[in-house]
Structure 1
Amino acid sequence: MEEVELCFPQLNTSCWKTKRPLSHTVLIYMVLSFISLLTVTLNLLVIISISHFKQLHTPTNLLLLSLAVSDFFVGFDMLFQILVINGCWLLGDLMCTLYFIFDYVVTSTSIGIMVLISIDRYVAICYPLHYSTKVTARRVQVCVSLCWIISLSYSIIVMKEDLKQAGRYNSCVGECVMSCDIIHQFSDFIVLFLIPITVIIVLYMRVFVVAVSQAQAMRSHIAAVSLQRSVSVKNSEIKAAGTLGVVIVVFLICICPYFCVTVKGRDTFVNASSASFVLCLYDSNSCLNPLIYALFYPWFRKSIKLIFTLQILKPGSCETNML
């Protein structure tokens, strides 16, 4: 049986803190801290790269920049999860509510921008001649702003009662819980999971089918000219298929457990400590996003080299050819 102690020894109404072996606690702290640091660092590199180099100021890269900004904040949000590893929330009831709202906003915004990225790729592949007129930097900025506004508004509506009376569901001092009734569970499942997943899968499947058909047409056209080129096209098909598969599978792996826990068909309370695993897995997608969406781009690898060698500080570096 695990030894327990009070979160606030001076208060009789304090919650109990689970006392784990030191090795377990250190391991958990190290893993979460590493994921948080990696998430912040990778997304910061994307933010600096796209913001600094003018050649990267395209509509698609603006979406990647917006995704990196939301995922950057997710990395900081994970630091708060470290505070509740032992089951104690030490920052007060209001900060508990704000923590849940902040997590809600940045993660839902990240999902929304992923949907915008899938739409961007759909238009680029399926309607290439109309892409430059349909997808502009101005429209991207408007859509991203709407993502943030809608996410903030939705989170405030969902947790308005918790904002009015912070900590009203706490059974003891040092607890951090929020209400999560069946209506909110169902709305979260529809708005943050079912609709985005459906849109992303449908659009990516369409993109994949069109890309493969185009590649086959190109291969048939050049088969008599260059066998080597034909092999290259085939390899690009496999690479494209693998990348799209990774995007979908990783996204599902990261967010499915969270919604499996929150959607149970009955009123529940989501405890910050007990839900830490699914929240960490949910948030870890923000660490993988820059790897999936940016790390495979040559310009990203080149920008990393320029950043770490401090070439980015030279006058006129923003005009560097990155493509």
Structure 2
Amino acid sequence: MLKWGIMATGAIANQFAETLLQMGDEVVLTAVASRNEENAKKFAEKFHAAKWYASYEELCKDNEVNVIYIATPNSMHYENCVQCLNHGKHVLCEKPLTLNAKDARSLYQIAKEKKLFIMEAFWIKHLPLHKKMLEIVARGEIGEVKHIRADYGFMTSKSKKRKFELSLGGGAIMDVGIYNIGFVWMVMKEKPKSFESKVTMNEYGTDEFSTVIFQFPGDKTATITTCIGMEIPTESVIYGTKGSIHFPNYHRAEKMYIKQYGGKSYEIDMPFEINGFEYQIRETNRCILEGRLESEVLTNRDSLEVLNIMDRIRSSWGLKFSVDE
């Protein structure tokens, strides 16, 4: 059984720890760390972790911990991943893995040299319903995929600066647009030839609302709408030459509708066992226990290509950061 550590104690870390707690004998939460001592202690007590630390360095030095889930702000992901890898820890890092593809490529190289597993916590890729959807697409049930639509918008307080400031990895595309782009990549599995976008920037100088139209080889297209400041359902539709697949909520995918043009329509329900995080945790455990350095479910290339697409979109908006060519 692998012994997990959690780095940071915010909302997403709480959700992750709650998942570990409900997975029973599959996993054990050994230690947690926060830069705030009181937060670390309360978190450990709440989720029955044996140890707690007031610094990330102490967690990384814990010889009992095998793998660390990183839930720090986006801008800290790269340095925290390096820190974990340098102490011989396997890593599951919250999305986005890094602020750009160049840094992600660097992390994969470090992990390879140290023979350690690292994966972005792009949890929706591991959901059973998405795996079923890919099977349906692969066997041609809806024909050739010609267009995909994926949207995501939500409300949040402007007091949460990490959601908005560029230096902290803020902006709608980095926060939730990664799901839209990741869903499109999941199905298309190829780079867009080109894209056009319309963006509204906020007072922090990052994207608040955007619509992007992608052009893919073979006259295929995709559109995504992403925003902070409006509630936009996380709906997606995959249109093929013989039918379509509709997700009323592709982000928390438990139901989808398959419609064949002029033919049968049906739905598939696959409720989560817990909250959906359990599938990426199991995949991480499996890979580490089998000595794998990379998951075939969510490959390094998957994460890199999505980051590359986000890099180019944000660069087209005039946002300045290092772009991996």
**What TM-score does the superposition give when structure 2 sets the normalisation length?**
0.25
Structure of higher CA gyration radius: 1
Q: Which has the larger strand fraction?
A: 2
**What TM-score does the superposition give when structure 1 sets the normalisation length?**
0.26
